[in-house]
Amino acid sequence: MHFPGSHIIGIDAFIREDIDRIFHTADRMRPYAHRERVTKVLDGAILGNMFFEPSTRTRISFGCAFNLLGGEVRETTGFESSAIAKGESLYDTARVLSGYSDVIVMRHPQSGSVAEFAAASRVPVINGGDGANEHPSQALLDLYTIRNELQSRGRDGIDGLRIAMIGDLRYGRTVHSLSRLLCLYRNIHVVLVSPQELRLPESLEVALREAGHQVTVTDKLEESIRKVDIVYSTRIQEERFASREEADLYRGKFRLNQAVYTQYCEPNTVIMHPLPRDSRAEANELDNDLNENPNLAIFRQADNGVLVRMALFALILDVADQVDRHARDVNWYTERRF
């Protein structure tokens, strides 16, 4: 991938060096995201933040990332207000909207829609999620978090990683993308923990094995989290099951709380989750009693999303090397706990 002017549609377009470059650039965004420094490198640039499907966190995260580089954001937040609803083609929408901004982030409920849109766009397009298909910035922030968490525990690089992915592995878009990204690395041990009915699609399991990785399939939580670096938990989606009772059977088994963590996990095992987490008592997915556990990395994932998105913008718009030249210190109160 050649970044300046490139679209970011799916993760299959990346090679390992691209990921390295994105992560290296994200690292350099930290002083800006953490409000130690201000940069105006994109002063005058406009992001078209086109969310044709509701989203708060992803939309705000992309918007803030662009603001943090000094740019402006124009956006749309729902499908109903769109000309697409009146029969306008994605081609027309793309031709029109791409005249309004320097880069576009697009979320759309329809699988493949963002690629079709990007083909007609006159400016670079980042996929902000196209239905059940791709959400590349989420996969990148997950992998970036893994890399950073390992690093802060004295481990360099992703090769040799041991990771348990837990929950609905069949429909969860994030575990699919993360699995594909992991194929770029070496010597990974992937423990797939799900009910039989919700196993990872076979094609992905095959891809992981063909990449030379060790793959363990199980439906038991406790044994799977004993010897891993990362526990990546996802939601059991009740609506996939024949009955609530059936769903509850699985839910009990995959519930991670502090007691389970202490009993089974190695010290400093990292806990991740693609937010939002369902915190209602009956959800049983990742207990609130883990909130004070320093290895709970779920909010660091969200923070890292800003860094990764800043990096994507900086690379696509070819300003990564100029960021520090347009910078100064922050002059307002900022005692943040990152």
Which CB, 216 or 257, lies closer to a copy of itself?
257
| 135 counts as catalytic | yes
C-alpha triplet 179, 183, 186: angle, nearest 5°: 125
Would you count residue 74 as binding a copy of itself (CB under 8 A)?
Answer: yes
In the complex, the smallest distance separating the C-beta of residue 12 from a copy of itself, rounded to whole angstroms, is 23
Kindly identify the residues of this chain, within the stretch 269-308, that bind a copy of itself according to CB under 8 A.
275-280, 283, 288, 291, 298-299, 302-303, 306
Minimum distance of a copy of itself from residue 188's CB (angstroms): 28
Report the distance separating Cα 254 and Cα 234, nearest Å: 9
Q: Which of 25, 39, 58, 145 is catalytic?
A: 58
User: How many residues form the binding site for a copy of itself (CB under 8 A)?
Assistant: 80
Give yes or no: 77 in active site: no
Residue 76 appears among annotated catalytic residues: no
Instruction: State how far the Cα of 280 lies from the Cα of 169, in Å rounded to an integer.
Output: 21
Q: Which residues of 188-200 are buried (b: 16+ CB within 10 A; e: fewer)?
A: bbbbbbbbeebbb
Q: Which of 40, 162, 199, 240 binds a copy of itself (CB under 8 A)?
A: 40
Region of 38-46, 159-167, 173-181, 187-195 interacting with a copy of itself (CB under 8 A): 38-46
- Determine, following the binding rule CB under 8 A, whether residue 111 of this chain makes contact with a copy of itself: no
In 3D, which of 124, 90, 92 has the Cα closest to residue 110? 90
For the CB of residue 293, give the shortest distance to a copy of itself in the complex, in Å: 14
Q: How far is CA 298 from CA 33, 158, 223, 244, in A?
A: 17, 18, 22, 27
**What is the DSSP track for 38-70?**
EE-TTTT-EEEEEESS--SHHHHHHHHHHHHTT
Which residues have a catalytic role annotated? Answer: 57-58, 86, 107, 135
